[in-house]
Amino acid sequence: MLKDLFHGRFFWTIAAIFALMLVLPMVMPRFYTYIFTLIFVTSLLAMSLNVVVGHGGLFQFHHAAFYGVGAYTFAILLTKTSLPMWIAFIAAPLAAALAGLIIGSFCVRLTSLYFAMLQISLGSLIYIVALRWYGLTGGDDGIHGIPLPEFLSSSINAYYFVLGALCLCLIVLNLILRSPFGTTLQAIRDNPERCAAVGINVRRHQLMAIVIATFFAGVAGALFVVLENTVFPELLFWSLSLEIFIMCLLGGWFTFAGPMVGAAITVSLRTFVGIYTGYWTLVLGIMLILLIFFLPEGVMGFIMARLGAKNKVVKETE
């Protein structure tokens, strides 16, 4: 599998994009360096959600809760303990994965709408804890001025740190989704009853997918702290979860790179629309309506379908 990965189109595409991204901070203003770094963080968050939504067929409607758990774990360990930054960075996704394991063990007992509603309820409990526990989380004020190592004080260094972490996570996610586990997960998405009939433990695979997804959401949460040097309860709110879900739909939730494309489009629109109006949620709602009616397969799904049709025509003419 590793041999296929490092000789395939995925690796060379990532390598070319990575090389381009290495050069960008040297030629663009600081503001755009920040926007690209935010896109990287959000892309990883959307990719983590797509493990369970696009590849697992589970409607995880409160994924932001685990993003917030990772961010708060990282921030709390840095502000209230003397642990090194690397220990806190490792602890953040582990804490998010543990929260995913606990919540997921209850949710996988249910299906469809009931799964989604139970997860929203349990995720909202985490949000309330972060909002009200002033002694630990700072309550609605959040945690500010988080001490980070000197090498992350520069926006360009933070950019490169986040970019490196994103590329590493993408390689690991690609390996997971191309593995027998990933194939089985997609089979469960398409027909869970048939998978159960042939002896596959559906609930265990779904729970593993949730743990994997929440682990990478925790990594994204820690990277958010590296970028912003702050955390606040809105990171765990359900509206952010909806926005992440729309990113997966917009980019193409049955594709690997789709969530990254959706995250790039959404973050860019939110940034530049915010310059002219404060009604970003209205724009997001209109975008969702247009997406459902005119581009249900997402941007990457549409492109891949067109390329597939084009290749089919070429083969037929040959």
- Residue 178 placed within a domain: yes
How much of the chain, in percent, has pLDDT values that exceed 90? 50
pLDDT at 312: 46
| pLDDT recorded at residue 35 | 93
The confidence score (pLDDT) of residue 266 equals 92
Per-residue pLDDT, averaged over 128-142, amounts to 90
- Check residue 9 and give its pLDDT: 63
Section 4-10 average pLDDT: 52
Q: Give per-residue pLDDT as tens, 21-68.
A: 888 888 888 889 999 999 999 999 999 999 999 998 888 888 999 999
Asked whether residue 67 is domain-assigned, the answer is: yes
What residues contact residue 147 under an 8 Å CB cut-off, 6+ apart?
A: 78, 79
Start-end of H helices in the chain: 2-6, 9-27, 30-53, 64-80, 85-107, 112-132, 134-137, 155-178, 180-190, 192-197, 202-228, 238-251, 258-276, 280-294, 298-317
* Residue range 262-275: mean pLDDT, rounded: 89
Whether residue 163 is predicted with pLDDT greater than 90 in this model: the reply is yes
Min mean pLDDT across 168-172, 266-270, 297-301 is at 297-301
Q: Which domain holds residue 11?
A: 2-239
Residue 311 has pLDDT above 80, yes or no: no
Whether 262 is in a domain gets the answer no
Q: What is the mean pLDDT of residues 253-267?
A: 90
Q: Is residue 301 part of a domain?
A: no
The yes-or-no verdict on residue 14 having pLDDT over 70 is no
d(CA 313, CA 294) in angstroms, rounded, equals: 24
Q: What is the model's pLDDT at position 6? A: 47
> To which residue do tokens 């191309």 refer?
178
pLDDT > 50? residue 2? no
In a domain, 296, yes or no: no
Going by pLDDT thresholds of 50, 70 and 90, the confidence category of residue 8 is low
Judge whether 264 lies within some domain: no
Per-residue pLDDT band at 10 (split at 50, 70, 90):
low
Task: Identify the pLDDT of residue 12.
Answer: 73
d(CA 142, CA 161): 24
Average pLDDT, the chain: 87
Q: Is the separation of the CB atoms in 61 and 245 below 8 Å?
A: yes
- Lowest mean pLDDT, pick from 49-58, 111-120, 237-246: 111-120
Residue 289 lies in a domain: no
Residue 194 in any domain: the answer is yes
Rounded to an integer, the average pLDDT of 129-145 is 89
- The number of domains in the chain is 1
